[in-house]
Structure 1
Amino acid sequence: MGKVNALIVAGGKGKRMNSDKSKQFLNIQEKPLIHHTLEKFSMCSDIDDIYLVLPEDEVRYFEGDILKRYNYSKPIIIVKGGRERQDSVYNGLVSMKDCEVVLIHDGARPFVSDDIIKDGIRYASLYGGSAPGVKVKDTIKVIDEHGFSKATLKRDELVAIQTPQCFKYSTILEGHNYIRENKILVTDDTAALEIIGHKIFIYEGSYDNIKVTTKEDLTIAELIINGR
């Protein structure tokens, strides 16, 4: 079997945090957010290599302030990001060799569990593509261009998708090649497979597996760590 690699995309700029520092470098309990994320994958026995995609102007900072400070048990290969998130993912994918399964993860999701990682690998091997998700708690409305509701979606059919999104390497590379050649913009990597006709198996995620985007999320992140 080929390698099982993690591809972590860390390109957030922290605009919604009102911070000059990119959000992946903001601290949660005195350690950078991106360190918490890398540590989860580094500690997972099923992961071989970790590919970290960063904006070109942040590579030196990461190497000097984080990579040298913390000891990771898995190799971390740094890849320069692209203009859009999907360009960054593509750069990461084509950097890999001898990869069988790849897990594409948001750098700003520091609370992914070992079970979610291992389940994703297992289901990707079985079905070609998988992603964790949680049932939505709120009623979801569809609104028109004037802000009025025009439909109510069935809550029991809705799932909020998280990462890591896990794939057979050859399959997700095919999907990304297709959207790249046809100039299609997607919001996540599962969409790249759906466009070429593949179904994605959705398995159980966790409400703790949040994406840190706002100042309020940082507060929640502190609570999650304290609760653990």
Structure 2
Amino acid sequence: MNYIVMMPAAGSGQRMGAGFNKLFLMLGNKPILIHTLEVFENDLACVEILLAVKQEEQSEIQAALNQYGITKVTRLVDGGSERQYSVAACIEAYDGDDIVLVHDAARPFIQQAVIKDLVSTAAKYGASIAGVQAKDTMKLAPLGIVEKTVDRETLWIIQTPQAFQIEVLRKASNQAKEDGFLGTDESMLVERLGYPVRIVQSTYDNVKMTTQEDIVFGEILLKRQRESKLKEDEI
């Protein structure tokens, strides 16, 4: 089943401490952004990518797309000051009816099997999100004092992609704008309208490149991918 991707890429990356957009940082021999885009570039079911970027970075990003042969980015949309505004701009720019995946540009290790599950689940139910179950003991401590230990079997760490039927996402985005509501992710906007959002099991490798430590872990994952591919080629 075909899908399109809306990818907010207009962040500042302050937690990375790079002094510039972290998506331009090199992971192996390519920028983080290119690694992420290549996942979808290499998936036949992905028919289009809308990339929300800062106006002042458009020429640099377009040059990178050309250099690395990324052809599925059809539009560079003006990104907003918040992730939600960038995604809203992508929604406004899109007039098709395919399933929409919203994905963090700094998550280059999402697996295509997870993407496929997200798309099929969203097509059937309206909304689905990638996540992994919490592994550590979890405490509820709103004031820094433990109130209770929470059953971790009921807790999920949510990632992207998050997949939606376009009309569900558009309605949630428009309602949030009308209400002046700012959410932490697209699922939150859909949830507040009462739509059930189903979780699809993802992998713990699907990390977001947020800090320098994440880059170190990313290099390890990249090395593992290369070694796995070499073994496959030998078979």
- TM-score, normalised by the number of residues in structure 2: 0.92
Q: Work out which of the residue numbers 66, 69, 72 in structure 2 matches 1:71.
A: 69
Structure 1 vs Structure 2 CA RMSD = 1.3
Q: Distance in 2 between matches of 1:11 and 1:108?
A: 11
User: Does 1:204 find its partner at 2:201?
Assistant: yes
Larger mean Cα displacement after TM superposition, 100-109 or 12-21: 12-21
User: Does 1:184 find its partner at 2:181?
Assistant: yes
Q: Say which structure is richer in helix.
A: 2
Q: 1:135 is matched by which residue type in structure 2?
A: Q
Q: Distance in 1 between matches of 2:103 and 2:17?
A: 24
Which consecutive residues of structure 2, in runs of 5 or more, have no partner in the other structure?
A: 226-235
User: Which consecutive aligned stretches of 4+ in structure 1 deviate over 2 angstroms post-superposition?
Assistant: 72-76
Deviations 1:90-147 (Å, cap 9, x if unpaired)? 00011012232100000000011111111111000001000111011111212133x2
CA contact (8 A) 1:100 1:168 kept: yes
| SS of aligned partner of 2:98 | strand
Q: Using the TM superposition, give the Cα deviation of residue 73 of structure 1 relative to its aligned residue in structure 2, in angstroms.
A: 4.3
% identity of equivalent residues: 35
Deviations 1:180-220 (Å, cap 9, x if unpaired)? 10001100000111111101010110111101100000000
Q: Using the TM superposition, give the Cα deviation of residue 23 of structure 1 relative to its aligned residue in structure 2, in angstroms.
A: 0.8
Q: Distance in 2 between matches of 1:100 and 1:226?
A: 34
Q: Work out which of the residue numbers 109, 113, 116 in structure 1 matches 2:107.
A: 109
Q: 2:34 is matched by which residue type in structure 1?
A: H
- TM-score, normalised by the number of residues in structure 1: 0.95
Q: Distance in 2 between matches of 1:171 and 1:140?
A: 32
Which consecutive residues of structure 1, in runs of 5 or more, have no partner in the other structure?
A: none
CA contact (8 A) 1:100 1:170 kept: no
Q: 1:27 is matched by which residue type in structure 2?
A: M
Q: Distance in 1 between matches of 2:13 and 2:79?
A: 16
